[in-house]
Amino acid sequence: MWSTDMDPRDAALGRMIERQAVRRWITLKSLLEHQLTRPWAKVEFPLQAALLGGAAQLILMDRIPEHAAVDETVEWAKRRLRPGAGGMVNAVLRGLAALREERLSPEAFAACDPEACDLIPLEGGGAWKLRKPVFSASPPDRLSQKTGLPLQVLLRWINRFGMAEARRVALHGLVQPPIFVHGLPSGTPNAELVNGTTASVWTGDHAQLVAVLAEHPMARVQDISSAMAVELTAGMQPRIIIDACAGRGTKSLQLAAQHPQAEVIASEPDEARCNALKAVAERVRGLANIRVATGNDLAALIGQADLLVLDVPCSNTGVLPRRIEAALRLNPISIQSLVSLQRQIVEQHLPLLKPGGAVLFATCSMEPEENERQVEWMTARLGKISPQTERRRPEGLPGDPPNVYRDGAFAALYTAVSPRVQFGAGIR
């Protein structure tokens, strides 16, 4: 947590260093190991953190002078660890700086062999060319080291998509994701409309965004692929919509805008997100019929929902640029835990559905256990009704214009559902 009395510019720089170090720690660790005289695991954790922060500035943040990155990290190590730590940090970071040969432009990098062991791809589309090869000769290991994605994640994607597509999605993970805002009037300053969509790329700062959202309460920040799930319900005429995993209310707003005749009842068990959801409902009071319900409130709505929306918790592998830590948590145990949670949510909330109503199931995952296999399970549970499904893989590579960026997403819409099965007891 950053100190509240820190200069805002220093705090912003600290957050950026932290973000880069977390997102590319596998890359940075691979580079630092070439400069160390002992195994990385033998380096104490605070010293690892100092080296990762310094390396992030040298490799990934081109606006910080080399001497500033090295000197500040050395002084921190002397002051917070011990005087001798400064010498070690100085030697390692200066060795890393000397390893850089040339910063390639996006055009120069595009002309290079993407498999080269001496190139580090960067989020802006360019790359660092190193003075010697440092990455693994094994293609999967090398891709992991160069992009910062865990090997186990890449192996899943290589087995499903092939090496070329796995590389493309891994490089997508390096992109700084743009902010998309839906529902702004044409000509709004700092908002560049994306052709063929209702979204604009936001080019202003955070304070300006807060101000424009206050001016246009029904506007919402939402990736274009994320909006795809609710768009499947176009043409429906629901009277009561229950958004059972509403988060901070993005899809609730979208549902209210797409179905103005409906009452949108939004529920969220997490306290912080629920408070944000209540703020959204208050902000649009008089403009949209959104109300927030607790578990007890939902229990009174059994059998009343014309449309039940289940945007369930997932692994977030379709939104890794926005959830930089998600890939580090992905493993067979975490996937199975999420699958169980998703099924529990479906079973708990299906009694809310009116006979003949519709269920919208959505994730921001690319993993079949959370998408296609869940649909197979739901289809069997819902009396063999075939859903309409949509899936989007992530789009946009380093150096691409922001308007081509898309998150990965999955959605399945079941209509005319009449459950014949008694589902799990208890609404969340």
CATH superfamily of the 8-148 domain: NusB-like (1.10.940.10)
Cβ-based burial of 96 (10 A; exposed 0-12, middle 13-18, buried ≥19): buried
Q: How many residues does the chain have?
A: 428
Q: Which residues contact 177 (CB under 8 A, 6 or more apart)?
A: 223, 319, 321, 322, 405, 407
Put simply, whether the predicted model's pTM sits higher than 0.85 gets the answer: yes
Cβ-based burial of 263 (10 A; exposed 0-12, middle 13-18, buried ≥19): middle
Residue 62, classed as helix, strand or coil, is coil
Q: Where are the domains of the chain?
A: 8-148, 223-417
Q: Say whether 223-417 and 8-148 share the same fold.
A: no
**H or E element, residue 72:** helix 66-80
CATH superfamily of the 223-417 domain: Vaccinia Virus protein VP39 (3.40.50.150)
pLDDT of residue 118: 95
Q: Which residues contact 207 (CB under 8 A, 6 or more apart)?
A: none
pLDDT of residue 424: 44
* Residues of the chain under the 50 pLDDT cut: 1, 421-425, 428
pLDDT of residue 1: 46
| Interval 405-418: pLDDT, tens | 999 999 999 998 87
CA max distance for the chain: 72
Q: Which residues contact 255 (CB under 8 A, 6 or more apart)?
A: 230, 233, 241, 243, 262, 264, 307, 309
- β-pairing, 305-311 with 290-292? unpaired
Residue 213, classed as helix, strand or coil, is helix
CA angle 382, 385, 388 (to 5 degrees): 115
Please name the amino acid found at residue 159.
N
pLDDT of residue 425: 44
pLDDT of residue 4: 55
Q: What does DSSP assign to residue 366?
A: -
